Amino acid sequence: MFLSIIIPAHNEERHIGATIDAARRAAREASRCFAERVSSDDAPSGLEHEIIVALDACTDASESIARARGCIVVSHDRRQISATRNLGARIARGDAFLFVDADTIVPAPALRQAAEALEHGCVGGGAPVKFDGHVPLYAELCLTLLTVSFRAARLTGGAFFFCMRDAFLRAGGWDESLFASEEITLAKALQKLGEFHIIRHPVITSGRKLRTHSAGEVVSLLIRGVKSRLFDDNRMLRSREGLELWYAPRRDDPHVPGT
C-alpha cells in the first residue's frame, strides 16, 4: 500500500512540525509492523508513504517548517478546509489517503489500525479523538457523547480521516460547497460504497478552540450547525459567516504544544 498523508494548514507554525514528525514516525512504525508479516502469503511487504502539506493563505512559517521536513508542499488562497484537502489530494500519488489536521498528533497504533482496515477492504474510516492539555468539563462530556454517537453512526471528524483513493474519487471528494461539517458529508457518501470503519485507538488533537472560546459560543455554533444539516439544507455551512470558530483570527492559546 502507498499511503498519502495529507495535512491542510492555515498559519499552523505552532503545531505543524510536531504533526508532521508524529505522522512520519507512525508511518514508519506501521511499515515495520507490516513487513514483519511477510511469512504470511497474503501479507503486504510494507507501507510506503508520502506527506503532503496543503497550505491555505499562510503568512507564517508553516511552509518552511514543512519543506525542512521533506514534505511535498502545495498552496492556494481559498480559506476553506474542504478545498484545501482536495488541493492536497489532487497531487497525491497514493492508492490510499489519510487526511490529518495540522494540530493533530497521530500515534503509531492509530495509523496502523487505519492501514489494516483499508487492507481488509474498508473504503474509509476515522478515529476517536482526545484533546491535548486541559479543556473545560463540558467539552469532555460533549466529546464522550460525540464519540459514542459517531461510532454508532459510523461517522468521524476531520482530524483523522482515511479512505481509498478510488472510493474518494467515486464519492466526489470533499464537498467544496461546505465550509464546515464536510467530513460528515464525505463519510456518508463513502458508506454507500462500502464499509466505513472507526478504529479504536484515538488521535490527539488541539483543544485550543475550547480553551479560547466560551461554552456559549461553542454550544451555540454546534446547535446552529445541527439545525442547518437537519432543516435548511446546510445553508449555514455554505458560508464562512457564522463559522468564526474555524475562520476568525485565532485567539491566543495558553497551552504549549507537547506539554
What is the predicted pLDDT for the residue at 137?
Answer: 95
Fold of 2-136+154-206: Spore Coat Polysaccharide Biosynthesis Protein SpsA; Chain A (3.90.550)
Rounded CA-CA distance 29/201 in Å is: 15
Whether the per-residue pLDDT at 39 is higher than 70: the answer is no
> Does position 62 have pLDDT exceeding 70, yes or no?
yes
Q: How confident is the model at residue 40, as a pLDDT?
A: 54
Is pLDDT at 259 greater than 90 in this prediction?
no
Of 1-15, 107-121, 228-242, least confident by mean pLDDT is 228-242
As a whole-number percent, the residues of the chain with pLDDT over 90 amount to 78
Least confident of 23-27, 113-117, 142-146: 142-146
Average per-residue pLDDT for the chain:
92
Q: Give the residue from 215, 213, 206, 204 showing the smallest Cα distance to 251.
A: 213
Q: To the nearest whole percent, how much of the chain has pLDDT over 70?
A: 95
Asked if the model's pLDDT at residue 48 lies above 80, the reply is yes
Q: Which single residue is written with the C-alpha cell 461554552?
A: 215
* pLDDT tier at 77, thresholds 50, 70, 90: very high
Specify the higher pLDDT residue, 36 or 72: 72
With CA atoms as reference, report the closest residue to 134 among 210, 20, 39: 210
Over range 162-172, report the average pLDDT: 98
Contact residues for 156 (Cβ-Cβ < 8 A; gap 6+): 125, 126, 127, 150, 183, 187, 198
Of 31-40, 175-184, 243-252, minimum mean pLDDT range = 31-40
Q: How many CB atoms lie within 10 A of CB 41?
A: 5
Task: Name the band, by pLDDT with cuts 50, 70 and 90, for residue 42.
Answer: low
Is the CB of residue 215 less than 8 Å from the CB of residue 208?
no
